[in-house]
Structure 1
Amino acid sequence: MTATPTPLTRSRLVPMRPRDPNEPGRSASTLELFFDLVFVVAVSIASVRLAEAMTEGHVTDGVIDYLIVFFGIWWAWMNFTWFATSFDTDDWLYRLLTIIQMGGVLVLAAGIGLVFEEHNFTVVIIAYVVMRFALVAQWVRASWSSPSARSTCRLYAIGVSIVQLLWLLTLLLPGSGFFIALPILILAEVAVPVIAERAGLTPWHPHHITERYGLFTLILLGESLLASANAIIEAIQDSDALGPLIAMAVLTLIATAALWWIYFWPPHHRSIRGLRNSLAYGYGHYFIFAAAGAFSAGIEAEIAVITDHSKLEPPFASFAYTIPIAVFILGVWAIAIRPNADRVVNIVVPLGGLRVLIDPLIPVPFALTSVILIGIVVVLVWRPPLPDPDDEPAEVLVD
């Protein structure tokens, strides 16, 4: 483990050895924040396309396309994030390979429209593979510099490479063949870390990794705030729907703030001690992130209903935002709140999430949803997280 700065080689590179998981003051780097910016573009486009699909009445197709595209966005982001927490050197080669991944994200974002319009995944798959092979190069480099992590890094490099070649082969399949291969390849992707980490745990930094997840959550919730602003803009342009649109804007802000409060209530770093908990935390965030992105799409779909620009009919249109809210709350409760809360919180939070699901069947669904969310927040203020029973660090590699 490198505790002091390592001298640069003749090629101006830093040996890519495992970083100290207990490094004091570890926080997100400017490169990581820069990296997240391109995901803002991809998430925004995916959310807008989902909203358009729902507005046009193509709910099932839109949701399926969104979940598939979002998997590619989330998985590429997550794999880079966990690699960076363990092996970030911030030298020129590390930065270059990261920027290549960013380029892949932008190309993927450009291909999202084809997915929703034509179910054409060609551009998305090619961009995704570019991102993944750039990360393979990082794993190979880490295997050269880290004897204690060599087996793990090689398993990552080999496993990811094989799956990417299989993704490219799906481009040769007919449309129906692709959708048959899709779940198999997704399972293969999520299996790689499970297999590789069993050869030796990579040294993730609990506070750094959960900060990264928190920052991405903020990006996604920011999309909801944009939806709230759009409601105000529509209200200014449509005086007939002024009252409902202003109410929607206010209630969206309340709901977004409540989701932020719920997410950041528990101490997330306690949830990634050991391989099993870390996998549950990392993989469980797919549902949290996807729900956060879909929430903003649901708000946009509801605005279209209010302004008579939607084929959806109330009250069913309201499910477009209540389902994402419920999934978000239940996901955060399952992976972060439940082990850190007392009985009262562990009853109120999941029941509140489930209660939101049936709000569209009541005449004022969004108003009632906001009341429920405020109630959950009040309970969280009243009942703080339980004290940490032990503060032992997670198992790590030692170089």
Structure 2
Amino acid sequence: MIKTLWQPPRLRTAEENEKERRATWLELFYDLVFVAAIAEVAHNLNEHVSLLGFLGYMLLFVPIWWSWVGATFYASRFDTDDLGHRLLTLLQMIAIAVLAVNVHYGLGKTSDGFALSYVIVRCILIFQYLIAGYFVVAARKLTTWYATGFGIAAAIWLISIFVPVPGRFWLWGLGLIIDFGTPLTAGKLVAKAPPSFSHIPERLGLFTIIVLGEAVIAVVKGVSQLQWGFASATVAVLGMIVAFSLWWIYFDSVDGSPLRAMGLGNMKIGLIWLYSHLPLAIGIAAAGVGVEHIVVSSKTAGALPSNERWLICGAVAICLTALAVIHLITCTLGTKRHRKILAAYRLGSAAFILVIAIAGAALSPITVVSLVALACAVQVVLGFLTPPHVQPEAKC
């Protein structure tokens, strides 16, 4: 039940960073619209399995992910759960839904709808930061910095609507660079209003669950399109092993995020950890699409088509590389040496999978997905064989 119809924003993390904070029901409901958005962008990749299609998939995925990150970090600091916050969240959900509807037109001449939807999402966030800065003096410099940077990026996206393709996409890229660079250049301003050290890792974990769910749905969808057979069943099981292995090695470390460094003004390590989740999410969702295609390809004899081989191998290699970075800077995993060993394992498997992509032109669908699943499962086994043997480091 709403405690009050309206209350001014307050800096929640100043009093809550020393205790556990969980996601609210509103945040979980908010996530549902991103389930639909990711499903649409994955479906778009499913229809365009090629290098150009994958680049387009990434271009569409990044604004969706960044919209979610923006709302999550704002709520982590200033969520009041009053009527005003709920209504603004509803407006964001509607804008994200429109964004999802426009995904299939997001790379053509009618991509202005996708751009306009993103502008609306960002303008709502900018408005929230301006209100928060007005009432929370301690965070005013940070909220002004964010509102200015995000506002410039949103203006560039708005201008892109009037620019023909492909110039429009170059403006999107410039806007995203400014968007991502704004928190990176905030420096010690974040120390005065840090994000919640327990809330953000949980929220990012939930988003990772969303993309893992999309990968599982893709596997089920691929099998459901065919008559049940040994080949398709085997590929489906191996695809589930890939998803389960990625879940295992990620969620063994997510609670030990290095976000506390941001509270000390060290933005670099916190943002590297945060931004590494973007290629991880991109890779997981794309891997699901790849397995779906392999399930269908397993019905026919012969080698797996090169575009499908590159999709599954490239997607999983991206995931493992992102996990290598995450594990390298997650201090609770042990000493720096131990974290380097874990990162080396991830990078070694990523390199092995890329070799399959390069030299596996003659490999069958089952062979390709078997090798990829093996490379992922080995990471889980290596985690058991290389315990840290020491207490985790207190800080990086």
The bucket for the TM-score relative to the shorter chain is 0.7 to 0.9
Quickly say closer, same or farther: Cα 1:187–1:347, change in 2 above 3 A. closer
Other-structure match for 1:299:
291
The CA deviation string for residues 281-312 of structure 1, in whole angstroms up to 9 with x for no partner, is: 1222111111111111212222343346xxx9
Return the TM-score normalized by structure 1: 0.87
Percent identity (aligned): 26
User: In the alignment, is the contact (CA less than 8 A) between 2:161 and 2:168 conserved in 1?
Assistant: yes
8 Å CA contact 2:22–2:202 kept in 1: the answer is: yes
Q: What's the CA shift for 1:257?
A: 0.3
What's the counterpart of residue 6 of structure 2? Answer: 12
Distance 1:336 1:90 in 2: 34
The reply on whether 1:138 has 2:141 as its aligned counterpart is no
Alignment of 1:1-399 (within 5 A): 12-19=6-13, 20-54=15-49, 59-116=50-107, 118=108, 120-201=110-191, 202-236=193-227, 242-272=229-259, 273-274=261-262, 275-307=267-299, 314-337=305-328, 339=330, 340=333, 342=338, 344-360=341-357, 361=360, 362-363=363-364, 364-384=367-387, 387-390=391-394
Name the CA distance, whole Å, in 2 between partners of 1:267 and 1:103. Answer: 30
| 1:194-239 deviations in Å (ceiling 9; x for gaps) | 2345434332112210111111001101111112212331333xx6
Shift in alpha-carbon separation, 1:96–1:387, aligned structure 2, 3 A: farther
Task: Please give the per-residue CA displacement for 1:98-143, whole angstroms capped at 9, x wherever unaligned.
Answer: 1111111100000011125x35321111111111111112101111
Q: Which residue of 2 aligns with 1:3?
A: none
Q: Please tell me the residue identity of whatever aligns with 2:224.
A: I
Aligned CA distance change for structure 1 residues 288 and 332 (closer, same or farther; 3 Å): same
Offset of 1:30 from its aligned partner?
0.8
Contact persistence 1:210–1:268 (CA under 8 A): yes
1:119 and 1:303 map into 2 onto residues whose CA distance is 33
CA contact (8 A) 2:95 2:118 kept: yes
User: Higher relative CO (CA 8 A, sep ≥ 6), structure 1 or 2?
Assistant: 1
1:193 Cα deviation after fit: 1.6
- Cα separation, 1, equivalents of 2:159 and 2:150: 14
C-alpha separation in 1, matches of 2:328 and 2:128 = 34
Are the counterparts in 2 of residues 50 and 63 from structure 1 also a CA contact under 8 Å? yes
In the TM superposition, residue 71 of structure 1 has moved relative to its aligned partner by: 0.9
Which deviates more from structure 2 when the two are superposed, residues 41-50 or residues 138-147?
138-147
Structure 2 runs not aligned, ≥5 long? none
Amino acid at match of 1:259: L
CA contact (8 A) 2:231 2:299 kept: no
Aligned residue-pair number: 372
Q: Distance in 2 between matches of 1:125 and 1:49?
A: 17
Is residue 21–residue 204 contact of structure 1 (8 Å, CA) maintained in 2? no
Q: Deviations over 1:1-23 (max 9, x none)?
A: xxxxxx95xx6324433433424
Contact 2:232 2:296 in 1 (8 A): no
Does the CA-based 8 Å contact 2:324-2:342 persist in structure 1? no
Counterpart amino acid of residue 250 in structure 1: V
Q: TM-score, normalized by length of structure 2?
A: 0.87
Letter of the structure 1 residue corresponding to residue 354 of structure 2: L
How big is the shift at 1:345? 2.7
CA distance in 1, matches of 2:190, 2:242: 41
For 1:121, give the aligned amino acid. Answer: S
- 1:48 Cα shift? 1.0
